[in-house]
Structure 1
Amino acid sequence: MNVSGTPRHILTFCGKCSCGCPELFVDHEAPAEQRIVLTDDFGQRIQMSVDQLRVIVDEARSGRISALVDAELAALVG
């Protein structure tokens, strides 16, 4: 359990620069539907449930997210 009352840092997605890379946190004190916290390098945050994060991870593992983004970016060029 997170005793301090602040979200626990889990992962920095880039970490190779000082530009404020996206990060993943778990907030053990938040309601279940807001327990996962993603932040971006602009100070924005998204809160979601663990189940929602699992769906995103499964879609990423399958390659579906990359395929959809690549197709959209290709459509802009053509």
Structure 2
Amino acid sequence: TRFIFNYAKGYLYFGKDDYLKRTRHGLDYIRNTHRNPKTGGYAWAIYDGKIVDDTNHCYGLAFVMLAYACALRIGIEEAR
């Protein structure tokens, strides 16, 4: 999520398309790897592409919200 934040900010300030692509890639990763479609929660830890801790920590969820908010700010509508 912090990478999403950083690339979104980079795109906002510098306008490089690569930063926009990386932001989209990060969102795709947290949606398809970290997100539990049954609960709507996000896994805390992933190792080698597999969830090793599916705890929903408020600390982690705050960063998920920050990532989506930053992506939305740069025009990525699917972040809604």
Q: How does the TM-score come out when normalised to structure 2?
A: 0.25
Comparing both chains, which one has the higher relative contact order based on Cα–Cα distances under 8 Å and sequence gaps of 6 or more? Answer: 2
Higher strand content, 1 or 2:
1
Higher helix content, 1 or 2:
2
Instruction: Decide which structure has the larger Cα Rg and report it.
Output: 1
Q: How does the TM-score come out when normalised to structure 1?
A: 0.25
